[in-house]
């Protein structure tokens, strides 16, 4: 008989932004801490500190073989020189990069698409 040990969730998580508009993304690490990007730079905090009293959504689990690499990248990025940039280096960009994916922000992409649709609609009316 083989016993399977459940691994804790490691991967992309989010919570409502403090402003109430959009979601703030982070990566839950194997240690139980959360790596995230703030306007002050990259940070690793407790899950409670990340949540700030708001509900957490577990978005995307990272493959088990990537857990240690994700954690290593997170700790290596702390104190780096990368500055927060809403359009090009925000919390979603940082979280997807930590997961080993192309840095991207679905929220920025959605706003840009809606803006383009609005401009096109205004031009054709």
Residue 1 located in a structural domain? no
Residue-number span of the structural domain to which 110 is assigned = 11-124
Residue 5 located in a structural domain? no
Residue 4 located in a structural domain? no
Residue 62 located in a structural domain? yes
Determine the angle formed by the axes of helices 67-77 and 91-98, rounding to 10 degrees. Answer: 140
Among 42, 9, 15, smallest CA distance to 28 is for: 9
| 8 confidence band (pLDDT: 50, 70, 90) | confident
Q: What is the pLDDT of residue 35?
A: 97
Which CATH number does the domain housing residue 29 bear?
3.90.1720.10
DSSP structural state of residue 90 = S
Residue 115 located in a structural domain? yes
Residue listed under structure tokens 């959605």: 110
Residue 29 located in a structural domain? yes
pTM assigned to the model? 0.81
Residue 41 located in a structural domain? yes
Total domains in the chain come to: 1
First to last CA, the chain: 69
| Tens-digit pLDDT profile for residues 24-82 | 999 999 999 999 998 888 999 999 999 999 999 999 999 999 999 999 999 999 877 67
């Amino acid at each position: 008989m083989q016993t399977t040990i459940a691994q804790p969730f490691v991967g992309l998580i989010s919570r409502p932004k403090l402003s109430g508009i959009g979601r703030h993304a982070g990566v839950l690490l194997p240690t139980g801490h959360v790596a995230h990007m703030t306007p002050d730079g990259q940070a690793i905090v407790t899950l409670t500190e990340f949540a700030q009293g708001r509900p957490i959504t577990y978005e995307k689990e990272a493959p088990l073989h990537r857990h240690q690499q994700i954690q290593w990248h997170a700790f290596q990025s702390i104190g780096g020189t990368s500055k927060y940039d809403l359009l090009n280096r925000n919390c979603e960009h940082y979280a997807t990069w930590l997961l080993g994916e192309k840095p991207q922000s679905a929220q920025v992409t959605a706003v840009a698409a809606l803006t383009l649709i609005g401009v096109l609609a205004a031009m054709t009316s």
